[in-house]
Amino acid sequence: MMLPSINMMSAAADSTAVKSDELQRSTTSISDTTPTDIEDIPSDTIPVLSKRELRRQRVANRNLHYNILGGPSYTPDFGLLVGGSALMTFRMNPSDTTQRRSVVPMAIALMFKGGLNLMTKPQLFFKGDRFRIFGTFSYKNTIENFYGIGYSTNKDYERGEDTSEYRYSGIQVNPWFLFRLGESNIFAGPQVDLNYDKITKPAAGMVNEPSYIAAGGTEHGYKNFSSGLGFLLTYDTRDIPANAYSGTYLDFRGMMYNKVFGSDNNFYRLEIDYRQYKTVGRRKVIAWTVQSKNAFGDVPLTKYVLSGTPFDLRGYYMGQFRDKSSHVMMAEYRQMINTDKSTWVKKMLSHIGYVAWGGCGFMGPTPGKIEGVLPNLGLGLRVEVQPRMNVRLDFGRDMVNKQNLFYFNMTEAF
């Protein structure tokens, strides 16, 4: 059961100045009007706002909008849990109504088995959109599963307390800083990625798994610290990055993790992310993406590339398919319900939408060697909690293991 949304939305203050000629006419009218004339003015010419309208105006004049959703839930990865999500939007400069709104989605989950999951992926826009700060920040202490490395091992690995489960705790701090190049739509900048990962209480089957042993895992567990520096080069013409209706996004990024930076292993990551959005009607969008993620070198057990996450191949257990290379192609149709909002029912319906997607993942030990194919399709429900900001509920299908998974998140998958 989901708790109702707590909506405390607001927008940047837009103080509207009275035009000088209107003020002059108003002053002249009052000065030339006798008390008798004023008494003759019909009272209905003075607009009287209801309490509801006054409240709407006050809400609209605030800078910070936020929504909170929460309640008991269930996921195949973590079982029963109490989860909550929050979405905050605001302008860095409240008085600048032309400034792009920053978006900060947050999620928290408390597991009945014992555990905590915290995550936020902010998108902060500064003056004139000359500078941006994006990133991923997370803390996890949960029960997870390890299925080995490589498609042939992953797809047949038995999931269970005695075969794959372990207790994971970890923290990630991964900000990236983007500077606009001139007047173009190209951004470039550095990024930092700090990760501490710890595995305890590995299952008996996991302790004997060859890739776990090769990485240095023991019956007591495994731990790793990775520290990396990297670069980003991004082309971005999306109208609203968190829920684009139009535009193109092309991102190249590379990371170097090295013992010089304090990392336990020397390894590298190279990622390419292409997305495009096409409006095909009122509040109707077709979005598609092609992504490639690759790791090279002495990759730690917890830093292999994953195929199947809440942001791409929804339907596959997160972490089940891992190797050094993953490529994904997906297309998604998104539509919100359009009404004239003449009744409260129609107003409610105008905040509802749906999506349908299909795609495929490819994985292997090198970028050019494909060992596994992961078809994927699914349906989703959208609830607009702020203008162009949605809560998404997705139902995805794993075509390899013939299973379905359910997802609840803020903002679109891509």
Domain assignment present for 166: yes
254 closest CA partner among 297, 309, 304, 191: 191
Domain assignment present for 119: no
Task: Output the pLDDT for position 27.
Answer: 38
Q: Which helix (H) or strand (E) holds 411?
A: none
Q: Give the SS3 label for residue 45.
A: helix
Task: Output the pLDDT for position 78.
Answer: 72
Task: Output the pLDDT for position 386.
Answer: 85
Task: Output the pLDDT for position 361.
Answer: 96
Task: Output the pLDDT for position 23.
Answer: 35
Task: Output the pLDDT for position 247.
Answer: 97
Q: How far apart are CA 8 and CA 88, in angstroms?
A: 10
Task: Output the pLDDT for position 34.
Answer: 41
For the entire predicted model, the pTM comes to 0.78
Burial class of residue 376, CB neighbours in 10 A (0-12, 13-18, 19+): buried
Total domains in the chain come to: 1
107-161: pLDDT as tens digits = 898 888 788 999 999 999 999 999 999 999 999 999 999 999 999 889 888 888 8
Domain assignment present for 53: no
Domain assignment present for 97: no
Residue 397, beta-bridge partner list: 377, 404
Q: Give the SS3 label for residue 280.
A: strand
339-376: pLDDT as tens digits = 999 999 999 999 999 999 999 999 999 999 999 999 99
Q: Are 93 and 80 in contact (CB under 8 A)?
A: no
Domain assignment present for 3: no
Backbone angles phi, psi at 35, to 5 degrees: -55, -35
Q: Which residue has the tokens 């490819």?
A: 362
Task: Output the pLDDT for position 87.
Answer: 87
Domain assignment present for 2: no
9-37: pLDDT as tens digits = 333 333 333 333 443 434 333 334 444 44
Check whether 41 has a pLDDT greater than 50. Answer: no
Domain assignment present for 199: yes
Average pLDDT across the chain, whole number: 86
Strands (E), 36-76: 65-75
198-234: pLDDT as tens digits = 999 999 999 999 999 999 999 999 999 999 999 999 9
In 103-208, which ranges are continuous DSSP H helix? 151-154, 204-207
CA angle 372, 375, 379 (to 5 degrees): 150
Task: Output the pLDDT for position 83.
Answer: 82
81-113: pLDDT as tens digits = 788 888 899 999 888 888 889 999 998 988 887
In 161-285, which ranges are continuous DSSP H helix? 204-207, 210-214
**Residue 315 maps to which CATH number?**
2.40.160.50
DSSP state of 366: B
CB atoms within 10 A of CB 255: 21
Task: Output the pLDDT for position 370.
Answer: 94
Domain assignment present for 297: yes
Residue range(s) defining the domain that contains residue 153? 125-410
